[in-house]
A and B are shown apart, each in its own frame.
Chain A
Amino acid sequence: NAGVTQTPKFRILKIGQSMTLQCAQDMNHNYMYWYRQDPGMGLKLIYYSVGAGITDKGEVPNGYNVSRSTTEDFPLRLELAAPSQTSVYFCASSLSSGANVLTFGAGSRLTVL
Chain B
Amino acid sequence: AQKITQTQPGMFVQEKEAVTLDCTYDTSDQSYGLFWYKQPSSGEMIFLIYQGSYDEQNATEGRYSLNFQKARKSANLVISASQLGDSAMYFCAMRAGAVYGNKLVFGAGTILRVKS
Interface residues of A (CB under 8 A from B): 31, 33, 35, 40-45, 48-50, 56, 58, 88, 90, 92, 94, 96, 99-104, 106-107, 109
Q: In whole angstroms, what is the CA distance A45 to B37 when docked?
A: 16
Q: A48-B101, A99-B33 are contacts. A42–B43 as well, Cβ < 8 Å?
A: no
Which of A92, A96, A101 is within 8 Å of B50, CB to CB? A101
- The reply on B16 being an interface residue by CB < 8 A is no
The answer to whether A42 and B108 touch across the interface, beta carbons within 8 angstroms, is yes
A42 touches B100 (CB 8 A): no
Contact of A90 among B4, B35, B45, B52 (CB under 8 A): B45
Of the A-B pairs whose beta carbons lie under 8 Å apart in the complex, a sample of 7, sorted by A's number, is A42-B106, A42-B109, A96-B102, A100-B33, A100-B102, A107-B45, A109-B43
Partner of A104, one of B45, B50, B95, B105: B45
**A to B contact number (C-beta, < 8 Å):** 61
Q: What's the Cα separation between A50 and B100 when bound, in Å?
A: 8
If the complex has contacts A43-B91, A100-B33, are A94 and B102 also in contact, measured as CB distance less than 8 A?
yes
| Chain A positions within 8 Å of B4 at CB level | 42
Inter-chain contact B47/A88, CB cutoff 8 Å? no
The interface centre, meaning the residue of B43, B52, B93, B107 with most chain A CB atoms within 10 A of its CB, is B43
Instruction: Please name the 10 residue pairs, one residue from A and one from B, whose CB atoms are nearest each other, closest first.
Output: A104-B45, A42-B106, A100-B102, A43-B106, A42-B108, A99-B50, A48-B101, A107-B43, A101-B47, A50-B101
Would you call B56 an interface residue if the criterion is a C-beta within 8 Å of the partner chain's C-beta atoms?
Answer: no
B106 touches A100 (CB 8 A): no
- A102–B44 touching, CB < 8 Å: no
Q: Which chain A residue has the least Cβ–Cβ distance from B43?
A: A107
B22 CB to closest chain A CB (Å) equals 14
